[in-house]
Amino acid sequence: MIKITVNYSNNLVSEIVIEGHSNYEVSGKDIVCASVSSIAITTINAIIRLDDKALAYQEKDGYLNLKILKHSNYIDTLILNMLDLFKDLEKQYKKYIKIK
C-alpha cells in the first residue's frame, strides 16, 4: 500500500511523505504506482519552474519526501491540486493508497 502523509504548519502544507508500493500489479504494470509517481513528479517540476528554491525533496525507491520551503498562491494551488488528485486515486483504489 502507498501511504501519503501530509503535514501542515500555519494551515499550509509544509511536507508530504509518500512511502511504499501499491502492489496493485507487478512492477512495470502498476497503474496506481505510476499514477502517484506521475502526479508527484509533474507537480514538483511545475513548482521548480516557478521557483527553484521553493522545494526540497528526497527520493528513492518507494519513497518521496517533499518539503515546501516557500509559499505563494501558485505553489500552494499546485500542492493542493496534487493532493486532490491523490484523493481521487484513493477513492478509486482504497486498498492500494491511503492518505493520512
Minimal CA–CA distance to 46: which of 78, 77, 94?
78
Give pLDDT, residue 100.
93
Give pLDDT, residue 75.
98
Contacts of 1 (CB under 8 A, 6+ apart): 20, 22, 23, 95, 96, 97, 98
Domain spans of the chain, in order of start = 2-99
Res. 60 pLDDT band, cuts 50 70 90: very high
Give pLDDT, residue 27.
85
Give pLDDT, residue 46.
98
Give pLDDT, residue 28.
86
Level-2 CATH architecture, domain 2-99: 2-Layer Sandwich (3.30)
